Amino acid sequence: MIVFGLFGVFVLFAFGFVIFLKMKTTVLARSSPGAAVAAVNSQGSGCFQKIAGPIFTFMGIALLSVGILNIRKGSASNDWPTTRGEVFTSEVQSRLETSDSSSGSGSRRRRKTTTTTVYWAEMKYSYVVEGVSFEGDRVDYGMESRSSKRTRADEIVALYPVGEEVLVYYDPSDPSEAVLEPGVGAAAFLFPLIGVVFTLIGLVMLFFLFRGKR
């Protein structure tokens, strides 16, 4: 799955661009409505939108597809058969993630690098279906639980310690697909939500891009 830090960078970048474009257009509109339209068209024909428009649209559709698939599987998992399994890996992992941001313009433009420690629960369990051994690492069908706070990671590790016997829900058509907590949690809707936002941003960029070519 895509790391939350990457989502944050793209989301902030996208919203920053949209807000900047809106502010610029509003300022120009106060002095000249025609200038505002020209500004939007010039932005649409720029190199940025030629690259960013397709990228955001593609990522949005991909995230939306993954999110819908997770929701469908999460819903179906309520009716999956179960088997007994055992946790053999359960620990909190962490790593440093950096993100860049900038403020100001021209010679006053400044870049700032922020470093954040993110935490997640690394967990694996084994189970057997009709004499065949499998390994799973999925707790639920929500988004990957990575956060700058290790609360959730600690909760998962405490709930599923090494050696713990667990009830595993597996897909009868593909036993290698399994989960410990069936159903659709609130976090599962974040993927499609982000996908919709990315897709809309990409389509808006493409709209102004093609409009500027007319």
Q: Is the pLDDT of residue 103 over 80?
A: no
Q: Which whole number is the average pLDDT over 69-79?
A: 86
Render pLDDT for 7-60 as a digit per residue (tens, 0 to 9): 454 554 555 455 445 544 554 455 555 554 455 455 444 566 667 777 888 888
Which tokens sit at 134? Answer: 């499998």
Grouping H, G, I as helix, E, B as strand and the rest as coil, residue 156 is: helix
Per-residue pLDDT, 91: 95
DSSP character at residue 197: H
Give 158 or 29, the one with higher predicted confidence: 158
| Contact by Cβ (8 Å): 192, 64 | yes
Give 113 or 31, the one with higher predicted confidence: 113
Grouping H, G, I as helix, E, B as strand and the rest as coil, residue 138 is: coil
Per-residue pLDDT, 21: 55
Q: Which stretch of 40-54, 96-110, 111-125 has the lowest confidence by average pLDDT?
A: 40-54
Neighbours of 150 (CB within 10 A): 17
| pTM (whole model) above 0.75 | no
Per-residue pLDDT, 158: 94
